[in-house]
Amino acid sequence: MDTRYLDSFLQVAQLGSTAAAARKLNLTPTAVAQRIKSLEHEIGQTLLSRTGRNMQLTAAGAALIGPASELLARTRELRAIAALDTVAGDLRIGCISTALAYLVPDVLSTLIDNYEHLHPHLEPAFSTELYRKVLSGDVDIAMMVAPLFELPKELIWLPVRDEPFVVLAPRHMADQDPHDVLRSQPFIRYHRRSWGGMLADGYLLDTGIQPHERFEIDALDAIAAMVKGNLGVSLVPQWRPLHAQLQDLAQMPLPSGAISRPIGLLWKRNSAKTRLIEVFCQVLFDSLPLS
């Protein structure tokens, strides 16, 4: 179906005559009338009827107004995307659960407020799963923990911040040695199916610390709640919590440079969404205090 015929139909329906529509479209009335006839032939219904000098919608024509208007709007958006002169389209953003604090609400609200035709979609998952989703094209960009291996050349990695690991413990333990705390207290393990949990596990192995494990949990806010409830201590990165109140807990630093969780963005080098990804990255870095 030629969208120009739909446009002519909508103009006649709005202006009430082929002559008025012809003037607006810079066509002859005959050309406009021919477009309407061709459209009616393709659809198999009469869309406009003449009443005196005016054209009025039939029932079929009235039913076509909404879908035709939407189709033309989408067509204009697709042309703009292809021409790269506007920011438009769906952007599928994968993120680890703790990355939600980076993205909500400032970054997403800025995207929605400033880019009318950009439609962000969030997909939380573990970094291991997000890596696979980026490779398969199921997400366009992911905020995640840096992979623990060398990336293939088809991928781009952009660091966002490093989160040093700390021993999270009840406040009354703040003056104790963090390694002694890990050895002596019940341990709430950051789940090893996450890359951050693998980093914590590697540190414990390297230092020869064998904690008395009580739970293994993948949600950092939940770990903080359990530590606050005196259920144990943990080894976690200094993340930005969504709900946990960390001011009531001790965050005991490890030796300088001991271990950190690198957070960043991963996407395909030749992605068809490159323009949207550039805008997302710019908004993210403009919105976050990356200290």
Q: How many domains in the chain?
A: 3
Kindly report, residue by residue over 90-107, the tens digit of the pLDDT. 899 999 988 888 887 789
Domain shared by 14 and 77, yes or no:
yes
Kindly report, residue by residue over 111-141, the tens digit of the pLDDT. 999 988 888 999 999 999 999 999 999 999 9
* Length in residues, the chain: 291
Residue 273 has pLDDT above 70, yes or no: yes
Domain shared by 256 and 267, yes or no:
no
User: Are the C-beta atoms of 117 and 88 separated by less than 8 Å?
Assistant: yes
Amino acid present at 209: I
Domain boundary among 34, 52, 83: 83
Alpha-carbon distance of 24 to 99, in angstroms, equals 50
Q: Is the pTM of this model over 0.85?
A: no
Kindly report, residue by residue over 190-204, the tens digit of the pLDDT. 999 889 999 999 999
Domain shared by 213 and 167, yes or no:
yes
Domain shared by 280 and 143, yes or no:
yes
Domain shared by 245 and 215, yes or no:
yes
Q: Tell me the residue range of the domain where 78 lies.
A: 3-83
The contacts of residue 278 (CB under 8 Å, 6+ apart) are none
Domain boundary among 83, 105, 123: 83
Q: Which segments of the chain does DSSP mark as H helices, in order?
A: 3-15, 18-25, 29-43, 59-83, 100-103, 106-114, 127-136, 178-184, 195-207, 220-228, 274-287
Nearest Cα to 252, choosing from 172, 162, 177, 196? 177
